[in-house]
């Protein structure tokens, strides 16, 4: 392992990005450039104690790169507008599509390996399944502007001839874990559940508005953030050790491969707080009702075929760690 690598991380003050930075620090990497909107005070505790070379404002990144000409070994692009309830596509187009094209072109021109965040939101309601097959990308019909912007970038990337030497696009499924409090409405159901239990002793879950699913039995592939960052670090190390087969440059699902119900999730949250479950079902807001995914489950065969063999946390293991070691202690990762 070469701890002297220089790594640039976008979204570094956000949820997954800040956990990524800490994980890299834990592995001995401190030659890091952190990119984000650092004016958001709520994000400060996510990044201020990390070890890094410099912080760079998101909007000034490419001017900074042109001016400073840093030597970068790996570009981890996790920054995005992730609000699925933001229906102004222009916002997502600017931050998720056009910005990502600039990242790609920079990495291709400078021969920098790139790992970027895509999303399971690209799969829409799942009519084409959840297989990370490049042949399906053009057929996908995301349900919201966020998912559309992510899929448009995936489509664009797959058509490019100038490419980074090594690259992967990771389709994150439902990621949960520490450092997500600033996301508010878009934070995980676990974060919301914990806070509802703390304030009122019960959790309110959305009713099902789909005849095939009972209330609380909507299914998602929930993945603990610690598994996500472990996969990214493995890809980074494999790429820099020259062990990455160029044939593995591709889009990859990043879930557990096992869908679980929201009721399971909430029961695990109560268990992490040493309490008996107390769940109430409420109507889903109308603005997301027809944009709602009732089932997601990642096909994980491609990642396994690329050589990743580590097991993922079960839902109960991940939620217990998150609740007991972070939420109950008001601790950051």
Summarised one tens digit per residue, pLDDT across range 84-100 is 767 778 888 888 899 99
Answer yes or no: 146 catalytic: yes
Residue 281 is assigned to a structural domain of this protein: no
CATH code assigned at 304: 3.40.50.720
Residue 106 is assigned to a structural domain of this protein: yes
Residue 153 is assigned to a structural domain of this protein: yes
Residue 128 is assigned to a structural domain of this protein: yes
Counts of helices then strands in the chain (DSSP H, E): 12, 13
- CB-CB contact of 252 with 169 (8 Å): yes
Residue 291 is assigned to a structural domain of this protein: no
- How many domains, in total, are found in the chain? 1
9-27 average pLDDT score? 98
Answer yes or no: 176 catalytic: no
Residue 71 is assigned to a structural domain of this protein: yes
Range of the domain at 80: 7-176+222-257+296-312
Structure confidence at residue 4 (pLDDT): 86
Catalytic residue among 101, 110, 131, 183: 183
Convert the pLDDT of each residue in 203-226 to its tens digit: 999 999 999 999 999 999 999 999
d(CA 52, CA 47): 9
Convert the pLDDT of each residue in 244-285 to its tens digit: 988 999 999 999 999 999 999 999 999 999 999 999 999 998
Closest by alpha carbon to 254, among 291, 278, 225?
225
Closest by alpha carbon to 60, among 93, 91, 38, 86?
38
Residue 319 is assigned to a structural domain of this protein: no
Residue 207 is assigned to a structural domain of this protein: no
Catalytic residue among 29, 33, 130, 146: 146
């Amino acid at each position: 392992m070469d701890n002297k690598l220089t790594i640039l991380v976008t979204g570094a003050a956000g949820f997954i990005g800040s956990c990524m930075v800490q994980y890299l620090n834990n592995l001995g990497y401190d030659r890091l450039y952190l990119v984000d909107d650092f004016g958001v005070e709520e994000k400060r505790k996510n990044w201020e104690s990390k070890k890094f070379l410099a912080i760079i404002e998101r909007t000034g990144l490419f001017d900074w790169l042109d001016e400073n000409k840093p030597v970068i070994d790996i570009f981890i692009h996790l920054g995005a507008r992730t609000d699925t309830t933001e229906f102004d596509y222009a916002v997502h187009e600017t931050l998720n599509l056009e910005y990502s094209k600039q990242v790609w072109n920079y990495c291709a021109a400078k021969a920098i390996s790139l790992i970027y965040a895509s999303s399971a939101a690209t799969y829409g309601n799942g009519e084409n399944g959840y297989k990370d097959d490049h042949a399906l990308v053009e057929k996908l019909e995301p349900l919201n502007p966020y998912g559309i912007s992510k899929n448009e970038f995936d489509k664009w990337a797959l058509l490019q001839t100038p490419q980074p030497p090594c690259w992967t696009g990771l389709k994150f499924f439902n990621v949960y874990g520490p450092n997500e409090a600033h996301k508010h409405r878009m934070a995980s159901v676990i974060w919301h559940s914990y806070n509802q239990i703390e304030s009122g002793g019960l959790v309110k879950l959305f009713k099902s508005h789909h005849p095939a699913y009972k209330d609380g039995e909507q299914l998602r592939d929930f993945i603990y953030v610690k598994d996500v960052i472990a996969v990214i670090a493995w890809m980074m190390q494999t790429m820099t050790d020259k062990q990455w087969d160029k044939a593995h440059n591709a889009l990859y699902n990043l879930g557990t491969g096992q869908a679980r119900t929201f009721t399971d999730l909430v029961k695990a949250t109560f268990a992490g707080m040493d309490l008996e479950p107390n769940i109430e079902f409420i109507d889903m807001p109308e603005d997301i009702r027809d944009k709602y995914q009732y089932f997601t489950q990642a096909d994980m065969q491609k990642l396994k075929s690329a050589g990743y063999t580590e097991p993922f946390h079960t839902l109960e293991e991940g939620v217990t760690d998150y609740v007991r070691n972070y939420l109950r202690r008001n601790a950051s990762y």
